[in-house]
Amino acid sequence: MRKLQSENSALSSDNKILKDKLNRCNLHVMSLEHKLAESNRERDKALSYLDGKISESDTKHLCQSETTEWEQRIVKLKKRLDSLKTENMTLERELALQQKCGDAVTGHGPRVLSGYQLEVTTLKDDLNHAKKLLRASEADCERLGRERSEAAAQVVKLNEAKALLQQQLDDSASGSVAEKQLCALKVRLQITEDRLFQERANRAGKLSEVEEKLLAENARLKVIEKVLRKQKDHLCEKIARYTNMRKKAWHVNTGDLCSQKSDRDSACLDICDACDWKTTTLDEMNQEKEELDKVTKEQIHSLVHRKFDTVCQIKNLEDKNAAIQGENDALQTMLNTLVSKGPNPSSQRPQCSCDIGNGTLSTFVSQLFSDTVLNCL
C-alpha cells in the first residue's frame, strides 16, 4: 500500500513535473509559434523588400538603358545639328553673296533697260532720218521727172527748129560754114563733156558719203547689238544661279531651319520672279530691236536701190540735156551765121552735093553725140 502510495505520489509528482514541462513546452511552442509568425512576417517583409529592390533595379536598368539610348540619340542629334549649322552658315554666306549679286543685277537691270530704251530712241531717230532722206530722194525724183518732161518739150521744140534750120541749110549752107560749125560743135561738146563728168563726180561723191554714213551706222548698231547680247547672256547665267540656289533652299526640310529660312526663301523667290520679269522684258525689247533693225535694213536697201536708180536717171537726163544743149548751141550758131550772112540765091550748087554734105554733117554730129554719151555712161 505504501508502495502504491509512494508510486502514486511519485507518479503524481512526475505528473506535475510533466505538466510543468508540458506547460513550459506549450509556452515554448507558443513563443516559437509567435517567433515563427514574426519570422514569417519578417520573411514576407524581406521578400516584399527584395521584390521592390528587384523591381527597382529592373527599372533602374531599364532607365539606364533608355538613358544611354537617349544619350546616344542626343549625341547623334548634336552631330546632325552641328552639320545643319555648318550647312546653314554656308547657305547664309551663299545667300548673302547671291543677295549681293541680286543687288548688282537689280542695279544693272535699269541700266540695261535704259540702254535698250536709248538704242530704241536712236533707232527711231535713224529711221526718221532715213525717212527724211527717202522723202528728199522722192522729191528729187519728182523734180527730175519734171525736168525730164520739160527737156522732152524742149527736145520737141529743138527738133522743129533743127528741121527748119536743116531746110535752110539745104538751101544756103556752104562747105566752109559747115566746117566752122563742126569745130564749134566739137569745142562745145568737149566743154559739155567735162562739165558732165565734174557734176557726175560731185553727185557720186555725195551719194557715196551718204552710203558710207549709213554703213557706218549699221556697223555701230551691230556692235551695240553684240554688247547687249553679251550682257543678256551674263544676266541669264546669274538668273540660272538664282534658280539653283532657290532649289537648294527649297529642299532643306528641317523644322526649325525651314521656319528660319522661310523668309529667305520668299525673298529669293521674289528676287527670282523679278529676274524672270526682267528677262521677259529684255526678250521683248530684243524682239522690238530686231524688228526695228529689220525695218531699218529694208529701208536702207530700198534707199540704196532708189539711189542707184536716181543716179542712172540723172546720168541719162544729163546726157540728154548735154546733147540737146550742144545741138541747140550748134543750131543757134548756125542760125546766127545764116542771119548775119543772109540768103545767097546766086549760089547754084547741085542738089546732090548739098544733100551729101548735109547728110555727112548730120552723121558726124550724131556720131559725136553717141560717143559722148557712151563715154559718160
Query: What does the angle CA 99 – CA 104 – CA 110 come to, to the nearest 5 degrees?
Result: 125
| Cα distance between residue 217 and residue 154, in whole Å | 43
Check if the beta carbon of residue 279 is closer than 8 Å to that of residue 235. yes
End-to-end CA distance of the chain, in Å? 202
Query: In the prediction, which pLDDT does 360 show?
Result: 43
* CA–CA gap between residue 285 and residue 218 (Å, rounded): 19
pLDDT at 199: 66
Task: Give the residue extent of every domain in the chain.
Answer: 1-34, 111-341+353-376
For cell 502504491, what's the residue? 4
C-alpha count within 13 angstroms, C-beta hemisphere, residue 113: 14
Per-residue pLDDT tens digits of the chain, which is 377 residues long? 677 778 888 888 888 888 888 888 888 888 888 888 888 888 888 888 888 888 888 888 888 888 888 888 889 888 888 888 888 888 888 878 877 776 766 666 667 667 767 777 777 787 777 778 777 777 777 777 777 777 777 777 777 766 776 666 666 544 455 556 666 666 666 676 666 666 666 665 666 566 666 666 766 777 777 777 777 777 777 777 777 776 766 665 554 445 555 555 565 666 666 666 767 777 777 777 777 777 777 777 666 666 666 766 677 677 767 777 777 777 777 767 766 654 444 343 333 333 333 444 445 444 444 454 444 43
The per-residue pLDDT for 227 is 73
268 in Cβ contact with 249 (< 8 Å):
yes
Query: What pLDDT is stored for residue 350 in this prediction?
Result: 37
| Segments in 173-254 forming alpha helices (H) | 175-251
Q: Which residue has the cell 527584395?
A: 50
